[in-house]
């Protein structure tokens, strides 16, 4: 890695037993030297987006969230599919960032913990592109954890760590970040 990188991870599921969160935790715990990943804990506490609450009326928690986005070198988004769409909390978090200056051209990696969920992934891609975020397609990570018992999820994640899949996706993402910075 050319320089230490800070990645901020957004989990679309707020469930404690979320497979997408487990995938983000595995990425965090196996990040290459010089790469730190923080998983956002604010999404579930953000108020419902309202344009009247932007600018000088922006809630403190939204400012805290936006500051993390500004400080990071790249964003990792892990997103389940709810009723063929994006989870409301994640969409709400993204809505708070739409008119702000933290996100344009910020690199984004998508991680997905399911063999299905293409509707949500298509919607997520469209939203992120509309927000002028830079999707790093070569870093897309898809690991099938959905529907598996916790012990099997652990085995699947360990296998993907051992095979280098998780680290490879992060290395591709970090390389794209470093290329964009030069």
For 140-159, write each residue's pLDDT tens digit: 999 999 999 999 999 999 99
What is the pTM for the complete model shown? Answer: 0.96
**pLDDT given at position 1:** 47
Q: What is the mean pLDDT of the chain?
A: 95
Q: How far apart are CA 28 and CA 39, in angstroms?
A: 8
The model's confidence at residue 2, banded by pLDDT at 50, 70 and 90, is: low
For residue 140, give Cα distances in angstroms to 46, 111, 143, 149: 27, 6, 10, 24
Domains and their CATH numbers in the chain: 5-181 (3.40.50.360)
Q: How far apart are CA 46 and CA 23, in angstroms?
A: 23
């Amino acid at each position: 890695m050319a320089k230490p990188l800070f990645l901020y991870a957004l989990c679309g599921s707020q469930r404690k037993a979320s497979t997408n969160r487990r995938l983000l935790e595995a990425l965090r715990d196996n990040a290459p030297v010089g790469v730190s990943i923080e998983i956002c804990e604010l999404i579930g506490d953000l108020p419902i987006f309202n344009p009247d609450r932007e600018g000088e009326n922006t809630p403190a928690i939204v400012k805290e969230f936006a500051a993390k986005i500004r400080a990071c070198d790249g964003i990792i988004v892990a997103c389940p599919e709810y009723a063929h769409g994006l989870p409301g909390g994640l969409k709400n978090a993204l809505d708070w960032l739409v008119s702000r200056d933290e996100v344009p051209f910020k690199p984004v990696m998508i991680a997905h913990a399911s063999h299905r969920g293409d509707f949500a992934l298509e919607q997520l891609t469209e939203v992120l592109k509309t927000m002028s975020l830079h999707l790093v397609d070569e870093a897309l990570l898809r690991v099938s954890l959905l529907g598996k018992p916790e012990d099997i999820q652990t085995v699947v994640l360990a296998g993907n760590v051992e095979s280098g899949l998780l680290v490879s996706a992060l290395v591709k993402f970090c390389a794209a970040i470093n290329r964009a910075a030069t």
